A and B are shown apart, each in its own frame.
Chain A
Amino acid sequence: MITRLRQRAHENRYEIERALAPHVDERWAESFLLELRLQGVGGDDIGQALAEVDSHVAESGTPADVAFGDPAAYARSLELPQSEQQAGRSVLQMLLPNAVSFAGMMLAITSAPAVARQEDLSLTWGILTAVALGIAVITALLRWTDPVVRAVVNHPFRAWLASMAAIAVVVAPSVAGLTTDLVLSREAVHMSALPVLVAGVLAVLVVAAWNLRPSELVEDPVVPPLPAAGAGAGGRRRQPTKGRGAAIVVALSTPVATVALVAVSWWAATR
């Protein structure tokens, strides 16, 4: 079963490259496509560039790395324009809902114990500091999106470690507030807990629903310049199922995590 899964994963991995550039080495085409995506080039332009490479390779008989050299260098030399969709502002609009979702998750988790014990919510300075740090991190990500995306793509494991470390740093003040008797543990805000819990959960659910809209899951697909012979209607291709699956997992990760963490803190509070 593992080999079959791995086989399917391999078949799906180069689906776009094989469809648009069947004569080009798959790994070359994938690197080329990825570099263009990282530059924010639109799906139409990427499709054209890829088709032109394919056409040249097919007719000349020379492989892509001989005729075009390093795929990332060639992609940069084309100096293709960024698409409207990929421009910085729209990336911001894309990430803002996730910032709201994160804030909602934090609110839900911190208010759940208070609701469980039927007390008022007492927010310590530690928690407020943690929220402020979280907002600062997200703002930094919004500001420097391109370098961050590039780093994540090129070094996924290091990026994962860095994000775990960042989460630890953000959460640390609130944990420290619970355990020690510093300023962080002193109360800053005193309010009714249930509305905060409800607001947090609502924020998370609304953002998740927003991210799961069908149009959100298919963004600026790479299209060939001419409809492929016998491929049916026009230029729009169905997004490969692998991409859509990943988008759904990402959209659901925060709500699932929120539910889990709220349940855990509720249980811990009532013990």
Chain B
Amino acid sequence: MDEIQPWPSDWLRGVLEVCVLRVLADGPTYGYAITAALAEGGLGTTKGGTLYPLLKRFEAAGWVSTEWRPGDGGPGRKYYDLTDAGRAVLHERSAQWLAFSRATSRFVAHAAPGGTRQHSTEDSTEHGTTEARR
């Protein structure tokens, strides 16, 4: 997953919630570490102005619990940890997302270079009419 080009921001806006929940599932962590994990996973740079309001919504909804811990040699950090409710939301949303992305990937597969090669056997019959029309 190359991220030479940043992802379109409205795509990221839709998927950020489930991605942040996924990062939190690995254990209590704090804002900057979450942005680092997202970047490492190929999702590009997430700004503080985008992330922290999201985390605040999680806190208000009861999906995370928070705790302030002194930082190592630097300013203190606010740690976020998933609650049971948060975990349930994560499972639901990630299952939804996987189904959604499978459907959309199959839908647009022909338009991408190399797409026809990957999905030719499976999709040529399904989308035969679409091909003919194009």
Contact = CB atoms under 8 A, between A and B. Distances in A.
A67 B49 contact: yes
Contact of A55 (B47, B49, B60, B76): B76
Given A69-B47, A74-B49, A51 B76 contact: yes
A55 B53 contact: no
Interface in B24-47: 30-32, 35, 47
B5 to A, nearest CB: 20
Contacts of B35: 60
A73 B48 CA distance: 13
Interface residues of B, number: 20
Interface in A54-92: 54-60, 66-69, 73-74, 77-80
Nearest to B52: A52
Contacts of A221: none
Given A52-B52, A55-B32, A77-B53, A67 B76 contact: no
A56 B74 CA distance: 11
B71 to A, nearest CB: 7
B11 interface: no
Contact of A225 (B30, B52, B56, B76): B76
B78 interface: yes
Interface of B: 30-32, 35, 47-49, 52-53, 56-57, 60, 68, 70-71, 74-78
30 contacts: A22-B75, A48-B78, A51-B68, A51-B75, A51-B78, A52-B52, A52-B78, A55-B30, A55-B31, A55-B71, A55-B74, A55-B75, A55-B77, A55-B78, A56-B32, A59-B32, A59-B71, A60-B48, A66-B47, A68-B49, A73-B49, A74-B53, A77-B49, A78-B52, A78-B56, A79-B57, A80-B56, A224-B76, A225-B76, A226-B70
